[in-house]
Amino acid sequence: MTHVATPPFMRLRVVRPATGPERQQPMGEGHLPVLVDEVLASLEPRPGSSMADCTVGGGGHAERLLEATSPDGRLLGIDADRAAISEATRVLARFGERAVLRQANFEALLDVATEAGFVPLDGCLFDLGLSSYQLGDARRGFSFASDAPPDMRFDEEHGLSALDLIDRASERDLAGILATFGEERRAGRIAKAIVAARAEGRIVTAADLAAVVAGAVGSRGPGEQGRIHPATRTFQALRIAVNRELEVLTAGLAGALAALRPGGRMAVISYHSGEDRIVKRFFARESRDCVEVPLPPVCTCGHRAQLRAVTRGVITPSPAEVRRNRRARSAKLRVAEKLAVAAS
């Protein structure tokens, strides 16, 4: 896997005070879990199973997993977003002590699951990316139309916001972020426009940022009419950078592998090609014995296969699901099962 170095200005860790009880308001209805039937079929939850939802969000997947593991199965729900934990607490209240919720980044999955008494796990789910309730909260600045500052942090109390990042980044750094995390072909042009607008004080809200990007991109060609908003990749890239989403994913997958029992399964839903590449390469690496490159005549690395892929390639949503839930349109599900590691 190609390693993307973190720009120096993004290594700063800014601790913010709590933002007050108004952030605990309900997220409202409308969050639909993606590929939920496929997840259930892949993870095979049974009564008594011990499960982890590492991005519990609005509790949609977690609710179905708890129903499937009734009457005595348990679920550990993890999310970096404080508001998500508040909402999941409300949604999953009917399951009582069977649902255990923790605010944490899933890079700490193994430690959190161990502390909560969930190791070994029978199944583990990651539903990556942005949730519809986060996009719908205008105060968070995830949306192009938001009149709030572009914050975009899942955990609003830690790290740099997207506006902080824009304020501190050089034009070159910004272009690299947009190209790497957003796969934006016009990264240089957009970065230049953002830096110019920043110097003039024209970026205050997320809507301001979206307007600057749209102005830099210009009118779309005939083949692009009616497609995604011109700021989509820029907002995606800033969100991924702010939350270190690709950086923490490998750690989360490794934690899941360590926490699973032999025969336990992990399911990962990704929405971004960079995420899917990390998952694909992690599953491939952990599905073979020797990981030396080039492959030697006699292996000396000592690595042993710990996974087998359950699915060939990826599972994608049906056209009917995409019509019901637009967020599902780019979803890709990969599933793997933990092996019993043979003695060396």
Residue 193: what pLDDT? 97
CA distance 114 to 50: 12
| Bridge partners of residue 270, in order along the sequence | 332
Residue 331: what pLDDT? 95
Residue 137: what pLDDT? 77
Residues 267 and 173 grouped into a single domain: no
Domain end among 243, 274, 309: 243
In which band, very low, low, confident or very high, does the pLDDT at 341 lie, cut at 50, 70 and 90? Answer: low
Residues 209 and 151 grouped into a single domain: yes
Q: Is residue 334 part of a domain?
A: yes
CA distance 177 to 12: 16
Instruction: Give the other-Cβ count within 10 Å of 48's Cβ.
Output: 12
Angle at which helix 232-243 crosses helix 206-217, to 10 degrees, equals: 130
Residue 226: what pLDDT? 52
Residue 69: what pLDDT? 98
What is the pTM for the complete model shown?
0.84
The string of pLDDT tens digits covering residues 97-127 is 999 999 999 999 999 999 999 999 999 999 9
Q: How many residues does the chain have?
A: 344
CATH number at residue 50: 3.40.50.150
| Bridge partners of residue 266, in order along the sequence | 124, 336
Say yes or no to pLDDT of 62 above 70.
Answer: yes
CA distance 62 to 70: 12
Residue 21: what pLDDT? 31
Number of domains in the chain: 2
Mean pLDDT on 171-192? 96
Say yes or no to pLDDT of 16 above 70.
Answer: no
> What is each CA distance from 66 to 98, 155, 233, in whole angstroms?
8, 25, 35
Full domain range(s) for residue 41: 31-127+245-338
In which band, very low, low, confident or very high, does the pLDDT at 145 lie, cut at 50, 70 and 90? Answer: confident
Residues 109 and 252 grouped into a single domain: yes
Domain end among 189, 220, 243: 243
Mean pLDDT on 197-223? 87
Q: Pick from 141, 140, 163, 155: which is nearest to 16 by CA?
A: 155
| Range of weakest confidence among 13-22, 84-93, 146-155 | 13-22
DSSP secondary structure, 80-119, as one string:
S-HHHHHHHHHHTGGGGGGEEEEE--GGGHHHHHHHTT-P
Q: What pairing do the DSSP bridges indicate for beta strands 74-79 and 260-270? A: unpaired
Residue of higher predicted confidence among 134 and 64: 64
Residues 189 and 222 grouped into a single domain: yes
Q: What is the dihedral of CA 234, 238, 244, 250, to 10 degrees?
A: -10
In which band, very low, low, confident or very high, does the pLDDT at 163 lie, cut at 50, 70 and 90? Answer: very high
Residues 199 and 270 grouped into a single domain: no
CA distance 181 to 129: 12
Residues 104 and 202 grouped into a single domain: no
| Range of weakest confidence among 50-64, 165-179, 293-307 | 293-307
DSSP secondary structure, 219-277, as one string:
SPPGGGTTSS-TTHHHHHHHHHHHHTHHHHHHHHHHHHHHHEEEEEEEEEEE-SHHHHH
Residue 268: what pLDDT? 98
Say yes or no to pLDDT of 224 above 70.
Answer: no
User: What percentage of residues in the chain have a pLDDT greater than 90?
Assistant: 71
Residue 297: what pLDDT? 74
In which band, very low, low, confident or very high, does the pLDDT at 223 lie, cut at 50, 70 and 90? Answer: low
Domain end among 191, 224, 243: 243
Residue 66: what pLDDT? 98
Tell which phi-psi region holds residue 218, choosing left (phi > 0), alpha (psi between -120 and 50) or beta.
left
The string of pLDDT tens digits covering residues 291-318 is 777 777 777 777 789 999 998 889 999 9
Q: Is 58 exposed, middle or buried (0-12, 13-18, 19+ CB in 10 A)?
A: buried
The string of pLDDT tens digits covering residues 255-282 is 999 999 999 999 999 999 999 999 999 9
Tokens describing residue 134: 């986060």
Say yes or no to pLDDT of 49 above 90.
Answer: yes
Mean pLDDT, the chain, rounded, equals 87
